[in-house]
Amino acid sequence: EQEVTMYRATREITIEGHDVPKPIRIFQEANFPDYCLEVIARSGFVEPTPIQSQGWPMSLRGRDLIAIAETGSGKTLAYLLPAFVHISAQPRLAQGDGPVVLVLAPTRELAVQIQQEAAKFGSYANIRSTCIYGGAPKGPQIRDLKRGVEIIIATPGRLIDMLEAQHTNLKRVTYLVLDEADRMLDMGFEPQIRKIVSQVLIIFHLISFTVI
């Protein structure tokens, strides 16, 4: 118990809420699939970042969470790796199924970055992801959605277009991430976010704020 307190203190991890699980100190503690651990090792990562260390045990238990950490602190993998674990526990994708994981992000650039990270890990487990954003032709995005994906990473406006045209649906979404939620709110996306979230039946919430 005292060790946990020390661990958090030295990494400046502060927590709020009830029954917060103890942080995961080494990657192997997190019961991630082997391919994830291999990619981590190949990337040269030595230890979980603080947001991963405290965020992983929360999301792996299916807890809702608001996580706040500075830019470059590994928030993407903090929510993506538990998302892979969650997907692996679901029935395989069938014809016409929508995604299990939905990540909303404020900009096309961020969405593309997240998707690259998702693809890096997902390719080993045949977990498919796609990026849905405005200012680009719809054709290829529709094609990807029709083919079926476990993970959608989207900016809110274009996702709503795709939902209204019934190119995908959110019926299977049980893991929802609002990446850079503070920025999305600053950009005035709240009505769109509410509209999207209202279509998610069971919410596994994970909100990620970036402090600049």
Interaction between residue 209 and ligand ADP (CB under 6 A)? no
To ligand ADP, the closest distance from the beta carbon of 8 in angstroms equals: 17
Using the rule CB under 5 A, give the single segment among 50-58, 69-77, 99-107, 124-132 that binds Mg ion.
69-77
The option from ligand ADP, Mg ion, none interacting with 91 (CB < 5 to 8 A, set by class) reads none
Taking the least distance from each CB to ligand ADP, the nearer of 170 and 177 is 177
Using the rule CB under 6 A, give the single segment among 45-53, 92-100, 138-146, 158-166 that binds ligand ADP.
45-53
Residues 6+ apart with CB under 8 A from 116: none
- 65-84: contacts with ligand ADP (CB under 6 A): 69, 71-77
Q: What's the chain's length in residues?
A: 212
Distance CA 110, CA 180 (A): 9
CA dihedral (56, 59, 62, 67) positive or negative: positive
Distance CA 49, CA 26 (A): 10
Taking the least distance from each CB to ligand ADP, the nearer of 49 and 107 is 49
Tokens coding 56: 């992983």
Number of H helices, E strands in the chain: 9, 6
CB 8 within 8 A of CB 15: yes
Binds ligand ADP (CB under 6 A): choice among 21, 25, 49, 97: 49
* Site residues, ligand ADP (CB under 6 A): 45, 48-49, 52, 69, 71-77
